[in-house]
Amino acid sequence: MPGPLTGLRVVDVSIMAAGPWIGSLLGELGAEVIKVEPPAGDGTRWVEPLQHGMGTNYLCLNVNKQGVVLDFKNPAERAAALDLAATADVFVQNFRGGVIERLGLGYDAVRARNPRVVYCSVSGFGEAGPLGKEACADFIMQAYSGFARLNGRRGDEVEAFRFTGFLDLTTSIVAVEGVLAALLAREATGVGQKLEVSMLQAALEMQATRIAELFGSGKSPRPLGSEAPGLCPDRAYPALDGEVFVTAHDDAQWRGFCAAIGEPALADDPRFATNRERVAHRAELDAIALPIFAARPMIWWLRACDRQGVPCAMAQNFEQIRYHAQVRDNGMVEEVRTQWGTVVVGGLPWHFAATPAAVSPPPVPGADTERVLAALARTRAEAIQ
């Protein structure tokens, strides 16, 4: 069944992660997505690990696309790329600053052929400013944006999130938010526009709550282990056989927490009566709750918290996630069949009741070149007639 963007075409000349996943998400929303790679290939084909010789990053970050290879250094193929861009509702690029203009596919060149294009330009640090032409990568932005300064044990300086490309993908989802807004705006204005998406601004959006605390207190946030700065209780509690992760957001959950640990009278203790009081008396609550949790197994706490309506979970690894009934019943991961074997990828992040879309496999690099270029030639011939 068609998705909300059925009938739209995306031309994606981006490589690596932050750019390519934009096209995949737009494809998962129903758009037709054409990935255009240079002959040397998107570097993700060689990023470890490989599956039957193909980089798994390439496989998961290019789902829902067709694969075209064009050499932008060859004038004829460069012209074909511009012809293709002229047919696009959305164009995605993430070359280092200034490169796309040299390749003849800058915004002005594409707009001259296609004024309706939503031109999505992805950079590390934005296109203005002293770092406007610097390249970036996930772990670089984890450092620059302060993201890694939030992680670690109390007293630690810094710790990176190992190594999901999380801020790359954050950039992709922020870009899709912008592209969708621009497509809606185009319905009213009839024209497209250029969007500038930076990993920096996306990384700050992903830290929106910690940045808001910085603006409120003037102080840089610090690593807090498993705890959160503004909420209590909200942490990992070591139980007899491992840790359980428990949160209480509001008064009902707080009362449930007290009941679950067998200390119902705590609920009305003035030190803990409100969240702000609990945050201020965090250590006193830990002194009471930690020994209680330590005395019983994880399964006990899962049951006790469940009975009281308190959020509580154990940490899961890949095998547990992959086969979890909840994950499968909600389509949170998907398996796609490729010539490199079956690959597990993230599922659709949204599930539309009336216009559902689906995850489809990534392309074989260049496999669609002839067909896409032939269709382009036909379109051009028809236009001339």
Residues 107-146 that bind another protein (CB under 8 A): 107, 119, 125-126, 128-132, 134-137, 139-146
Contacts of 316 (CB under 8 A, 6+ apart): 324
Asked if 204 is part of the footprint of another protein (rule: CB under 8 A), the reply reads: yes
Among 112, 295, 315, 377, binds another protein (CB under 8 A): 315
Asked if 185 is part of the footprint of another protein (rule: CB under 8 A), the reply reads: yes
Asked if 148 is part of the footprint of another protein (rule: CB under 8 A), the reply reads: yes
* Helix (H), strand (E) at residue 35: strand 32-37
Asked if 345 is part of the footprint of another protein (rule: CB under 8 A), the reply reads: yes
Asked if 193 is part of the footprint of another protein (rule: CB under 8 A), the reply reads: yes
* Cβ-contact 50, 200 below 8 angstroms: no
Query: Rounded distance, CA 215 to CA 374, Å?
Result: 55
Among 87, 93, 114, 170, binds another protein (CB under 8 A): 170
Residue count of the chain: 385
Rg (CA), the chain: 25
Residues in 275-314 that interact with another protein by CB under 8 A: 275-276, 279, 306, 309-314
Among 163, 240, 264, 307, binds another protein (CB under 8 A): 163
Residues in 11-40 that interact with another protein by CB under 8 A: 15-17, 21, 25, 29, 38, 40
Stretch that binds another protein, among 83-91, 161-169, 293-301, 375-383 (CB under 8 A): 161-169
Strand partners, 166: none
Amino acid at 381: A
Asked if 351 is part of the footprint of another protein (rule: CB under 8 A), the reply reads: yes
Amino acid at 321: I
Phi first, then psi: what are they for 123, rounded to 5°? -135, 175
Which of 25, 202, 179 minimizes the C-alpha distance to 124? 202
Among 347, 361, 363, 365, binds another protein (CB under 8 A): 347
Residues in 49-78 that interact with another protein by CB under 8 A: 49-53, 56-57, 59-61
Pairing, β 50-51 against β 242-247: unpaired
Among 74, 98, 102, 189, binds another protein (CB under 8 A): 189
Amino acid at 250: D
Q: Residue count at the site for another protein (CB under 8 A)? A: 171
Which of 132, 112, 137 minimizes the C-alpha distance to 121? 132
Shortest reach from residue 381's CB to another protein, in Å: 29
Please provide the distance, in angstroms rounded to a whole number, between the alpha carbons at the two ends of the chain: 34
Pairing, β 193-198 against β 312-313: unpaired
Asked if 366 is part of the footprint of another protein (rule: CB under 8 A), the reply reads: no
* Cβ-contact 344, 337 below 8 angstroms: no
Residues in 230-259 that interact with another protein by CB under 8 A: 230-231, 234-236, 238, 243, 245-247, 249-251, 253
Asked if 270 is part of the footprint of another protein (rule: CB under 8 A), the reply reads: no
